[in-house]
């Protein structure tokens, strides 16, 4: 007979949604999170708003947290790190360390929701000087500033007059092995460019890009308003380097539309950092014997029609641990994983 509990590893949007769904259906979710707080990357990185609806991130995460905290169908295990796993579908034993003590959890199925990490711009893109210039920040840093309600130059606290976004930092880059598009950065930069203009209406804002990939409704919800209402300048061409000259940054690169090299002074540069598998994602894949793709993300085996099953029966994956994903895809996959996990248990058989 199968154990009817389902272990979910990772307390971000995917894990929270999967836990809520499992409890709603009447099964028990055991949600394991290594941090002391739920909310995943939006919480950890202090996102100000979510894309594309610009909803307050903390408020949205509170809503997701409220759905599982004190939910009788959800057992929360915070400050808990999974260290090992045994068993098969219907009868898994998940070994973990909780507040320094070893614990074992029995479950019929497992959902991995261990997410992603933001690309570290110091790893490869030294030419952008993230570790050299105070006024070169990442899109994650920008979120923190928006959340604090203060968008100023880190070097001197002054209001920036010229701000540039650089796209595809750590994405679509064969040199470092990240050949994939991170999907979300074009939308987020466009949204952030609007926020910059709202904070500093007089600022001139530029976005340097390879292609703007504004899929679905993001095109009219974010891209056109940024250009038409907020007068953000989109320049097709990658920046090759950023240097400091006096009190300013100089962005060098090529304007491919104008077919000429460019050197433009800026006060601040925001690097649109892409998504990479989190360390937790890679560790959990190894613990559960799950195949990773060449980029280190968990490989799902069902193609386009099943985005959550893995090569290990009874272990499912949801959200950005399977590859770059926006929140819409993430919560949708979480629902799918919850349903398939329950299905897997029912196929093995549950106690009468």
Partner 1 sequence: MIDLPVLKAADRKPTIDPANAPNVDLREELFQLEKEGELEIIRVPDNHVELPTKYGRMKKIPIDKTWHHKSCGQCGHIPGYSASIFWLNREFGLDYHDPTDQTSCTAWNYYASATSNPAAQAAVAVRNFAAAAEVGYFPLIHCGTSFGHYKEVRHALIHQHDLRRKVKQIMEKLGKKLIIPEEIVHYSEWVLAMKDRIAERQTLDMSMITATVHPACHYHKLIEEDAIYDKEIYGAQRTAIITGTLEALGITVGDYSTWYDCCGFGFRHILVSRDFSRSFAVQRKIEVMIEEVNPDVTVTHDTGCVTTLDQSQFAGKAHGKKVGLPVMSDSQIAALAMGAHPYKVLQLHWHNTDNKAFLEKLGIDHRAKWAEFEAEVAKIKDGTNEFMTWEDAK
Binding site for partner 1 (CB under 8 A): 46, 117, 120, 122-124, 126-127, 129-134, 136-137, 141, 144-145, 147-148, 150, 152, 154-157, 175-178, 241, 243-245, 250, 279, 282, 295-296
Q: How far is CA 230 from CA 108, 121, 187, 206, in A?
A: 52, 28, 15, 11
Nearer to partner 1, 126 or 233 (CB): 126
The strand pair at 28-32 and 74-77 is best described as: parallel
- CA–CA dist 318, 329 (Å, integer): 9
Q: What is d(CA 352, CA 345) in angstroms, rounded to the nearest whole number?
A: 13
Nearer to partner 1, 283 or 328 (CB): 283
First to last CA, the chain: 9
CB 276 to partner 1: min, Å:
8
How near is the Cβ of 185 to partner 1 at its closest, in Å?
18
Lookup: tokens for 102: 């070893």
Cβ neighbours for 187, distance < 8 A, ≥ 6 positions apart: 51, 52, 214, 218, 222, 223, 326
Report the nearest approach of partner 1 to the CB of residue 113 (Å).
20
Beta carbon of residue 91, minimum distance to partner 1 (angstroms, whole number)? 31
Least distance to partner 1, CB of residue 139, Å: 12
Distances (CA, A) of 135 to 5, 150, 153, 157, 240: 49, 14, 6, 10, 17
Identity of the residue, 27 or 180, whose beta carbon is nearer to partner 1 in the bound complex: 180
User: Taking the complex as a whole, how short is the minimal distance between the CB of residue 297 and partner 1, in angstroms?
Assistant: 12
Is the CB of 278 or the CB of 300 nearer to partner 1?
278
DSSP track, 4-28: -EEEEE--SHHHHHHHHHHHHHT-E
In the numeric block, the tokens 């570790």 are attached to 131
Nearer to partner 1, 24 or 132 (CB): 132
> 21 or 129, CB closer to partner 1?
129
What DSSP character marks residue 300? P
In the chain, DSSP finds a helix count (H) and a strand count (E) of 9, 18
- Residue whose CB is less far from partner 1, 93 or 159: 159
Nearest approach in angstroms of CB 264 to partner 1 is 14
């Amino acid at each position: 007979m199968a154990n009817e509990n389902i272990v979910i590893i990772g307390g971000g949007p995917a894990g929270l949604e999967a836990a809520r769904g499992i409890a709603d259906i009447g099964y028990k979710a055991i949600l394991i999170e290594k941090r002391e707080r739920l909310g995943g990357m939006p919480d950890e990185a202090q996102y100000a708003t979510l894309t594309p609806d610009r909803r307050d991130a903390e408020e949205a995460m509170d809503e997701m947290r409220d759905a599982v905290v004190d939910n009788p169908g959800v057992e929360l295990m915070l400050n808990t790190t999974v260290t090992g796993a045994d068993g098969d579908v219907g009868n898994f034993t998940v070994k973990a360390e909780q507040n320094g003590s070893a614990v074992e959890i029995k479950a019929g199925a497992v959902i991995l929701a261990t997410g992603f990490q933001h690309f570290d711009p110091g790893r490869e893109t030294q030419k952008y000087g993230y570790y050299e210039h105070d006024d070169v920040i990442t899109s994650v840093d920008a979120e923190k500033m928006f959340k604090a309600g203060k968008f100023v130059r880190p070097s001197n606290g002054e209001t920036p007059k010229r701000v540039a976004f650089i796209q595809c930092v750590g994405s679509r880059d064969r040199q470092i092995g990240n050949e994939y598009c991170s999907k979300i950065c074009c939308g987020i930069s466009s949204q952030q460019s609007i926020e910059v203009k709202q904070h500093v209406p007089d600022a001139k804002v530029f976005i340097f890009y390879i292609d703007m990939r504004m899929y679905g409704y993001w095109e009219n919800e974010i891209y056109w308003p940024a250009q038409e209402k907020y007068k953000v300048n989109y320049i097709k061409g990658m920046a090759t380097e950023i240097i400091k000259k006096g009190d300013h940054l100089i962005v060098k690169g090529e304007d491919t539309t104008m077919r000429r090299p460019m050197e433009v002074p800026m006060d601040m540069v925001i690097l649109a950092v892409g998504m990479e598998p989190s360390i937790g994602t890679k560790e959990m894949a190894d613990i559960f014997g799950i195949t990773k793709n060449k980029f280190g993300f968990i490989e799902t085996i069902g193609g386009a029609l099943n985005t959550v099953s893995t090569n290990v029966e009874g272990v499912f994956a949801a959200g950005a641990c399977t590859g770059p994903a926006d929140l819409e895809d993430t919560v949708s996959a979480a629902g799918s994983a919850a349903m398939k996990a329950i299905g897997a248990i029912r196929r093995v058989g549950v106690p009468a």
